[in-house]
Amino acid sequence: MRNKGHRRSRVIGTAIAAVAALALGGGGIVLLNDNASAGWGGNPAPASTAAAGPQAGTTIVCPDVTIRLSRVPQRARSAVDTELARMDSQVADAYQRLATSHTASDRQWVKARVLAPLADQRESALDRIGTALDRAGDRPDWLTSLASCKVQQDPEVASAQGTPAPNASAPAPNASSSAPPASGPVRSDFVDIRKVRPNVVKPAKQRGASVGTFRTRCGRNGNKHFNSDNVIAAPGVSNGAHHKHDYVGNLDTNAFSTNDSLAAAGTTCSNGDRSTHYWPVLRLRNGQQEADADQPGGGQDGNIGRILKPASVKLTFKGSPAGKVAAMPRFLRIITGDAKSFTNGPANANASWSCTGFENRQLKDKYPLCPSGSRVVRTFNFQSCWDGTNIDSANHRTHVAFANRNGSCPQGFRAVPQLVQRITYDVKPGTVFAVDSFPEQLHKPVTDHGDFINVMSDRLMRKAVSCINGGRTCG
């Protein structure tokens, strides 16, 4: 099968300026300053050679076409998916030009060399999407309006620097001619978990609630199953995610997996469950290089640092506080969270960061600074309502839904077992870390997300549903 990936011509990133430590309170928790681990390496760049690129937190913001395309006829899906993946590569390439240029603070240069070519590329891709939709139905009249992008700075970073956040189509002039290009994370992306108030609220269990749990044990990716594909969002496209994923469960999962290949593959799960679970890797931003430092999904896409192996991975299916659950269909695909939520906004974000011992305090848009003896925790609470018909949708969202605040499903949806992926990491206090991301998403914590394809056998799914509805703890 033809590789549809788009390899970048050079590595995104340079060395960064030296950084100082800033104490954030007792217990030995410290954090580096606003440029901490913001570049792609761990060695300081001399001021005379540092690139005079955009301000820290500056990125490219483009309308997300995938979210808007909620309905795509099946016969047009392959062509549309290919174009959407191509558009992701176009944005990544444009961000590379912005982040590595010595003239990126020049508005006219940005407009002529970054934004205008990107708009032309996107317009062509959108026209090809429109042609595919025309052959299967009617193209939406708003499609071509999504071609233009803009450059803007993270408001929190701008505020910390004492400069206004630009909202025009080019960045404000650089505050310092020696400021290096920065990819994140920055100081404002972190918070001491002990300063966060408890904020977890759970709906009350109603009469007839399904209170059992079913756990599947699939290990911690001891076989080092990594790739930068995303078979759900970018099927058939190598490096479709532009960031590395950690995988447990199904051993076949890559861009070219099919339902048949997943059903025939081996698994790391002890109960024979062939489902696939994946999420972006977490990396230490301490200057240590990983083996993928010069590869797509790694250094070529701005994801640098040693990949952290989870200390634990817990995969649990839970019931509904409003009633019984029905079986998930085989090959149901669910994405929770939004890998582009930094530029898209928080509407589909579903990141939950915390620390062991403090999990009644969940963070959506901050990384937690955990005290000594406490682990970093990522929790993905998946959508638990299914439309009863589709195993996927064009935007990979509308076939499933989150329960209402009282735990009931929206009209037209039925409750299915809710998957909760909980991953922990041993991170020493004071160590900067970041989640892998699309280059332009700047490794923001809000972009965290989890993915799942149900490849349980019908027998195993029946067992899980019986356990959950029967109020038992199984697995």
For the chain, count helices (H), then strands (E).
8, 23
Concatenated DSSP letters of 29-90 = -EEE-TTTT-SSSSSBPPTTTS---SPTTEEEE---HHHH-----HHHHHHHHHHHHHHHHH
DSSP letters of 332-400? -EEEEE-TTHHHH-GGG----EEETT-TTS-BSSSEEEPPTT--EEEEEE---EE-SS-S--TTSSTTE
Residue 170: closest CA among 259, 244, 61, 251? 61
- β-bridge partners, 23: 30
Which ranges in 171-311 belong to alpha helices (H)? 259-264
Predicted confidence at residue 161, as pLDDT, reads 59
Say how far apart CA 219 and CA 312 lie, in whole Å: 8
Percent helix, strand, coil in the chain, to 5, is 25, 20, 55
Give the separation between CA 92 and CA 303, rounded to whole angstroms.
12
Beta bridge partners of 453: 276, 333
Which helix (H) or strand (E) segment holds residue 127: the answer is helix 116-136
pLDDT, position 102: 76
DSSP code of residue 115: I
Measured CA to CA, the distance from residue 310 to residue 375 in angstroms comes to 10
The pLDDT tens digits along the chain (475 residues) read 445 554 443 334 332 222 222 223 333 344 433 333 333 233 333 222 233 445 667 899 999 999 999 889 999 999 999 999 999 999 999 999 998 887 877 889 999 999 999 999 999 999 999 999 999 888 899 999 999 999 988 877 766 654 433 332 323 223 222 233 447 898 999 999 999 999 999 999 999 999 999 999 999 999 999 999 999 999 999 999 999 999 999 999 999 999 999 999 999 999 999 999 999 999 999 888 999 999 999 999 999 999 999 999 999 999 999 999 999 999 999 999 999 999 999 999 999 999 999 999 999 999 999 999 999 999 999 999 999 999 999 999 999 999 999 999 999 999 999 999 999 999 999 899 999 999 999 999 999 999 999 999 999 999 999 999 999 999 8
Helix (H) or strand (E) holding 465: helix 458-469
Contact assessment for residue 252 and residue 229, using Cβ atoms and an 8 Å cutoff: no
pLDDT at 430: 83
pTM of the model: 0.87
